[in-house]
Structure 1
Amino acid sequence: MLVQILFLMATGGFPAVAADDGFMKVTGPCGLSFPADHGPHPDYRTEWWYYTGNLTGRDGHRFGFQLTFFRRGIQPPADRKGWPDPSSAWRTDQIYLAHAAISDITGGRHPQADRMARPVLSMAGAELADGDVTIHLHGWQATITPQGHRLQADAGDFALALDLTALKPPVPHGEGGYSRKGQSPDRASCYYSFTRLHATGSLTVAGTRHTVQGTAWMDHEFSTAPLQPGIVGWDWFSLQLADHSEVMLFLLRQPDGTLNPASSGTVVLPGGDTRHLTLGDVRVTPLSFWTSPHSGARYPVGWRLRVLPLQLDFTLTASLKDQEMRTPHSTGVVYWEGSVQARGTGHEKTIDGVGYVELTGYAAPFDAPM
């Protein structure tokens, strides 16, 4: 994969400039090309593949799910030239982490798990082979092929096995996938999403297996730059509406409660056309809050969200208040990641929807890389 990344850089596929620590910076439109860009980008420090969705069982039982894989560069690949030859099978310049959870909305439960491993001895990794990408960690796995995505994770007290079929092509955010996260050009990521995936398969919770179907969302993002100083966390929204449009929005919060001007989003129209959203295009107002008995963090769990240029006006409600993630076996970060229901108006008609919301920096300021 590294050879392919260097080729893309040399031919203009990525506008890359060497970072001070040896990793590459994202500085402009990313020239995303698939399937190669579904795979790993080891020249960048931080990367994640992120799946969420809302599912319903045959008996009407409602669920949400999350499965996320993270890759973190410990040292840039160029430093491998200083390794001894032969090198230890345990030596690595990366680490992989994964978070998984099921929101059992009907049952009122939120089982969760997290894992971490070196990408050695087949314990973890991400590979591109013959056009297929596989991201894996201790038996948890996401496989991306031209036909769709396959997710598998067994955490003991819960498990998921899902097949996802893309109903729309991948959507690059920002400017050709170049998603600004601060005022300087290099405080940015390469970021795209599958905004509407049809999901079928099974979830197992507390020993009961449920056959399910519904909709899912996939994000893939990679970067090197840390968050701009003064950003304490973000609120991220993904909505899948009944008129077959989607909305992605991230709000970068500052200590005084204001939002960083780099906050932005994307609307995907039913036919697949997209519209970039700036901070001035949206209004998000918290309507209700929940205090975690686990961490003491106070999270918003209800919102009014308006997209002014498109006259969209929605009320979002958490499907389950306690969807807080605690990750002592991997990142150590406490955050809220949960299913939401949407109801509102657009184009002078009522539109319902489902989605997911991620809230970071409420338990403690979030100063990790993007």
Structure 2
Amino acid sequence: MTNGFGQCHIARMGVNRTVAGPRVGETPVEGLLTGADLAAGQDRPHSTRAPYGPWRRWGSPPKRAATSATVGQTHVGKCDALVHAVARSRERVEAGVTAFVKAPAGRWLWRYHRGSDHPVCRLLLLPHAGGSASYFYRFSQLLAGDIDVLTVQYPGRMERYAEPLVCDIEELARQLSTALLEHELTDLPLALFGHSMGCLVGYEAASFLAEKGHPARWLFASSCRAPGTVHGKAAVRTTDDAIVADLRRLGGTDVSVLDDPGMRELFLPVLRSDSRAVELYGERPRAPLNVPVTAIHGVDDPWVDRRAAQAWSAVTSGPFELRDFLGGHFYFSQAEHQATVADLVRSRLLGMPSPS
């Protein structure tokens, strides 16, 4: 199954379709619960504006996903562990772990870290299939400063959970680009960094903006086949078993989460929609972009081979470079790789030599 799947971060994507996040345009605090945290009953700072837990805003916690997890000698349900963790995280928020920072463009964009009052350029971070804006929290932290870093939140997840999912790459890009133009966010040189499916959305957004007279400053494509190598299909393999099989193959997801029917019910709708978007994506004929492109490739990626990553050179008449990293489709989740990629992005956007 050819798909730009992302890691399944339950609290970042699936559970947060029920768990309250920050109000639209505000950022969560550092760190979100991962599948491993749920299994261990641990907590990290979590965004919530509702006093003592998320359920006050959205109602009662889901009755599903009650599969139990052993925490030391304590036997608790996963949902109970999540409620307990979020409630405890509230105390850390009130203790001043971080502040909420308003972001422009309302539903679409979050600014996790305030940078310079006079940034040199703006960078959009576009998550993978099944992912949400919070995937890029640490990466945003590494880059904020002279770069105004905004993370994209697709419809149908986290605080946008009630909105219809969009299973069309071009439509996602059009809506995002329209929000950028309406909120005058093209006033600075604009770069786009996508991971997996986010690369395709970023490429289409860059094309849309170029047609409107706002060419991108740079396009970074991480762990994704080039548009010319992703062919739309009449028949889409989006069965739940096929989706879960791909998640296992790509790695990065807690196996216990994949094996839990309740948890699967929470995250599969988003992955099913995103899977369809990538499966049906077919690049329409257009002139190459006139923008530098950097493709980034995990050498052990089972979905993207080096030839498919190199093919990003065909989407631009400008400079191109391909950078290889040890690891698979989610090489980017490793902290040391994120730091290296952040240095690469910063060097490209802040005036150091372009690739030849």
The structure whose residues are more often strand, as a share, is: 1
The structure whose residues are more often helix, as a share, is: 2
TM-score, scaled relative to structure 2: 0.26
